[in-house]
């Protein structure tokens, strides 16, 4: 019997022949922590008696969730990360560098075939490069920083075939929201996803990142996309590391296979307060006025995302009752957006930019909504209170949907702005 | 290890943002401070209601969402000794055990708010003392039971210097 991508990567990293259900101890290629989880990991590291790190080049720390610091207490926690980085020679991306999951891939740190853990649930994003990557807690990050190893239960895998062709105005975000609606918030718990099909083949790498990013929203441990020529060229442009892509065997065992035809897919919206409560934009037959529109995050803060918003907003003005906030996923993307004129188009339309990083996604700063507000966001979560106010309502959609909604002051279908 | 306490009942898909909101957890590592805000967005009086040793009882996919370890740690700090659920999201499940918070999968449909429970961790049995019913639990991987018995991963590492053998 052949092996899935998850079984193969975990076998390779544990020097065993691992099958779904086995427990293995595996060597981790990279370990990542951000400012919401690393200060606690540092405390656990010290409590565990950590005297050094297993390999300073394989540990990456990022200050992105609450950056720049809004409070003195947060500044102290950030300083604990800076001190740790200096003491052990660990790489730290400080305020303004961008979102951890964008930096991990765009800075050439992760390569196909890697096993990566991160103290952030959206670590599954690097599955788009064919790396087995998954979220862990702070104390497990501490244990990996000390010893470089972690135990894993080898997951069963669900194969997802995305067939057909995406219509104009419909994006990878719509695909993954639609899948979340089909599978439910626990539809892939303890499992790995493997994505195949012409829809995946036709997506650029940065669009595939959006799909793998949201694997955790259906409970999955990781969301793997087999590396193709595009992936390999993309990684080689960014990384000096040698790598060997890992593919599933043709006779691998899948616990389930799901096929979705995307040819007639419409823009999708996740309704408050559940990521799996998904509706197509036409099915929303009431007018939903919005007070805030947010474009950014590890899901959709990349160049193509800002470009499509700029294309929709050029020469127009957003509804004056809407606050449109844009957080580029990295400094490089921000610079690209400046040079290409996207920043000018969005700012002239009435939008505003905040520091590259997580922006208002986690409810700590930079755009906490008011009572009763509806927010349309490109993020991956719309839980009650997620953006810092449990009296607000968060809707999720693609960057094009967010831009169109900002223009109209209500949840809107972006397709009419993208024809021809 | 026998634990006794009262149940606090919740539904399906209780995410870690509900357990402890991002607006609090990014500010401090003081779990006693975070404990005051546990479950605040869905049950504002939760902190006042909990007595030391109590259990959270929930439906499926408890602890989904963010990887924040502050979620099980803040539950412990407010007095919760364990969580019984139909199923857990995987990161929360690992974090709970690593922090020494008991997390057991079992049929929770016959446990209501305020009922007295007794949990035998080694035997893997939950007793609903109010209804005089016994509920079997899903066995935990031995690696997790070893960590839990030491009180969590920090304690385990202090004593053994590495993960348990598989």
Write the CATH number for A128.
Answer: 3.30.499.10
What integer best gives the mean pLDDT of chain A?
A: 97
| Residue contact B29–A40, C-beta within 8 A | yes
pLDDT of residue B166: 79
pLDDT of residue B1: 79
Q: Please give the tally of structural domains in chain A.
A: 2
pLDDT of residue A419: 79
Chain A hits for B65, CB-CB cut-off 8 Å, are: 121, 216, 381, 383
State which CATH number among 3.20.19.10, 3.30.70.260, 3.40.50.10780, 1.10.1200.120 fits the domain covering B2-160.
Answer: 3.20.19.10
What integer best gives the mean pLDDT of chain B?
A: 96
pLDDT of residue A298: 98
- What tens digit of pLDDT does each residue of A44-56 get? 999 999 999 999 9
Do A250 and A356 sit in the same domain of this protein?
A: no
Confidence of residue A420 (pLDDT cuts 50, 70, 90): low
Query: Is residue B129 less than 8 Å (CB to CB) from chain A?
Result: no
Average pLDDT over residues A14-31: 97
Instruction: Using the structure block, give the residue that is written with the tokens 């609450």.
Output: A66
Last residue of a domain, one of A232, A260, A288: A260
Query: Is residue B163 less than 8 Å (CB to CB) from chain A?
Result: yes
Task: Choose the closest CB to A185 out of B23, B61, B153.
Answer: B61
| Residue contact A385–B89, C-beta within 8 A | no
Domain that holds residue A391: 269-417
**Burial tier of B11 (Cβ tally within 10 Å: 0-12, 13-18, 19+):** exposed
Confidence of residue B121 (pLDDT cuts 50, 70, 90): confident
The yes-or-no verdict on residue A134 having pLDDT over 70 is yes
pLDDT of residue B73: 98
A2 lies in some domain: no
Chain B hits for A219, CB-CB cut-off 8 Å, are: 61, 64, 89-90
- Taking Cα atoms as reference points, which of A199, A194, A150 lies closest to residue A5? A194
A1 lies in some domain: no
- What tens digit of pLDDT does each residue of A263-316 get? 999 999 999 999 999 999 999 989 999 999 999 999 999 999 999 999 999 999
The yes-or-no verdict on residue B140 having pLDDT over 90 is no
Distance from CA of A240 to the nearest CA of B (A): 30
A361 lies in some domain: yes
| Residue contact A363–B29, C-beta within 8 A | no
Chain B hits for A120, CB-CB cut-off 8 Å, are: 66-67
Do A27 and A72 sit in the same domain of this protein?
A: yes
Do A295 and A237 sit in the same domain of this protein?
A: no
Distance from CA of B32 to the nearest CA of A (A): 14
B82 forms beta bridges with: B55, B102
- What tens digit of pLDDT does each residue of A61-100 get? 999 999 999 999 999 999 999 999 999 999 999 999 999 9
Question: Is the bond into A184 cis (omega within 30 degrees of 0)?
Answer: no
- Taking Cα atoms as reference points, which of A219, A330, A52 lies closest to residue B60? A219
DSSP A353-408: E--SS-GGGGSSSS----TT-EEEESSS---TTTTS-TT-EEEE--HHHHHHHHHH
Average pLDDT over residues B43-72: 97
- What tens digit of pLDDT does each residue of B9-32 get? 999 999 999 999 999 999 999 999
Last residue of a domain, one of A206, A226, A260: A260
Can you tell me whether residue A126 is helix, strand or coil? helix
DSSP state of A416: G
């Amino acid at each position: 019997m052949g092996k899935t991508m998850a079984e193969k990567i975990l076998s390779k990293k544990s020097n065993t022949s691992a099958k779904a259900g086995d427990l293995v101890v595996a060597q981790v290629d990279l370990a990542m922590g951000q400012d919401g989880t690393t200060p606690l990991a540092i405390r656990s590291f010290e409590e565990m008696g950590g005297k050094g790190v297993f390999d300073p080049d394989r540990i990456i720390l990022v200050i992105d969730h609450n950056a720049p610091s809004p409070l003195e207490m947060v500044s102290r926690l950030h300083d604990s990360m800076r001190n740790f980085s200096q003491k052990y020679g660990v790489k730290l991306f400080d305020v303004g560098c961008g979102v951890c999951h964008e930096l991990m891939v765009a800075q050439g740190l992760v390569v196909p075939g890697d096993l990566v853990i991160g103290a952030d649930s959206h670590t599954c994003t690097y599955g788009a490069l064919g790396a087995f990557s998954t979220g862990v807690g702070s104390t497990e990050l501490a244990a990996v920083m000390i010893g470089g190893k972690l135990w894993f239960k080898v997951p069963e895998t669900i194969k997802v075939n995305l067939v057909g062709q995406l219509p104009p105005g419909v994006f990878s975000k719509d695909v993954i929201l639609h899948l979340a609606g089909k599978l439910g918030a626990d539809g892939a718990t303890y499992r790995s996803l493997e994505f195949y099909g012409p829809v995946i083949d036709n997506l650029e790498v940065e669009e595939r990142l959006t799909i793998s990013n949201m694997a955790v929203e259906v409970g999955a441990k990781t969301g793997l996309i087999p590396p193709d020529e595009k992936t390999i060229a993309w990684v080689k442009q960014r990384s000096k590391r040698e790598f060997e892509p890992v593919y599933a065997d043709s006779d691998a065992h899948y616990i389930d296979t799901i096929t979705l035809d995307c040819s007639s897919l419409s823009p999708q919206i996740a309704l408050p307060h559940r990521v799996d409560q998904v509706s197509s934009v036409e099915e929303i037959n009431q007018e939903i006025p919005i007070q805030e529109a947010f474009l950014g995050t590890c899901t959709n803060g990349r160049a193509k995302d800002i470009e499509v918003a700029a294309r929709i907003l050029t020469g127009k003005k957003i509804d004056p009752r809407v606050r449109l906030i844009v957080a580029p996923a990295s400094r490089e993307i921000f610079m690209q957006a400046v040079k290409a004129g996207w920043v000018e188009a969005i700012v002239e339309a009435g939008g505003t930019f905040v520091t590259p990083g997580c922006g208002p996604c986690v409810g700590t700063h930079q755009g906490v909504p008011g009572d009763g507000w509806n927010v349309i966001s490109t993020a991956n979560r719309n839980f009650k209170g997620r953006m810092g106010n449990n009296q607000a309502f968060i809707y999720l959609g693609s960057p094009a949907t967010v831009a169109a909604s900002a223009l109209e002051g209500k949840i809107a279908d972006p397709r009419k702005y993208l024809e021809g | 290890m026998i634990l006794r306490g009262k149940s606090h009942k919740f539904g399906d898909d209780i995410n870690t943002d509900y357990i402890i909101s991002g607006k609090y957890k990014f500010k401090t590592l003081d779990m006693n401070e975070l404990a005051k805000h546990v479950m605040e967005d869905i049950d504002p009086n939760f902190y006042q209601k909990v007595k030391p040793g109590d259990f959270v009882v929930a439906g499926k996919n408890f602890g989904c969402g963010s990887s924040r370890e502050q979620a099980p740690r803040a539950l412990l700090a407010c007095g919760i000794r364990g969580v019984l659920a139909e199923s857990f999201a995987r990161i929360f499940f690992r974090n709970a055990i690593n922090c020494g918070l008991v997390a057991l999968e079992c049929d929770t449909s016959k446990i209501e708010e305020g009922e007295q429970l007794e949990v035998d961790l080694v035997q893997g049995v939950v007793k609903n003392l109010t209804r005089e019913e016994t509920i079997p639990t899903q066995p935990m991987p031995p690696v997790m039971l070893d960590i839990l018995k030491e009180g969590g991963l920090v304690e385990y590492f202090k004593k053994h210097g590495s993960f348990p053998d598989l």
